[in-house]
Amino acid sequence: MKVMLDLKVMLDVFQERHPYYYASASVISKVLNKEITGLLPSHAITTIQYITSKYSGKQKADETIDWMLTHFDIAAADKNSFISARKMGISDFEDGVVASLSELTNCDFIITRNISDFKKSPIKALTPEEFLNIYTNT
């Protein structure tokens, strides 16, 4: 199974955002244990680097980036993925890019906390809790 993790899911763990931390961490654990394949949109890497560097320093940011590059596949955006995102009619462009990349990389699900923003996505969006319920029951 292949899933695209939205930026917020990663930030839930990196910033220990409660009450979201535990479910997001459980999804990430499934990636780390190679139970599922986890993808990140390329823009998540740069955003996380920026946030981590700003609040925790360059060394921590570098370590975080290296960790993500070790454990996750990266879905790179190009002109066609941006065009596809624009055509989807998703109001938040960043979410449209996530949906476009999820479709282009044949993901089974998008894991996000804002599923309402993905109603027009060709790939079904699930919260971390919903995904864990489905994954546990299959």
Ordered structural domains, the chain, with CATH: 2-136 (3.40.50.1010)
Q: How far apart are CA 136 and CA 106, in angstroms?
A: 22
66-95 residue pLDDT tens: 999 999 999 999 999 999 999 999 999 999
Does pLDDT of 138 surpass 80?
no
List, for residues 19-68, the tens digit of each pLDDT value: 999 999 999 999 999 999 999 999 999 999 999 999 999 999 999 999 99
Token pair belonging to 62: 């570098």
Please write down the long-range contacts of 45-51, taking CB distance under 8 Å and 24 or more positions apart: 45/69, 45/74, 47/7, 48/7, 48/10, 48/11, 48/14, 51/11, 51/14
Please report, as a single letter, which amino acid is at residue 86. Answer: R
Under the banding of pLDDT at 50, 70 and 90, the label for residue 136 is: confident
The pTM of the full predicted model, rounded to 2 decimals, is: 0.94
- pLDDT the model gives residue 137: 73
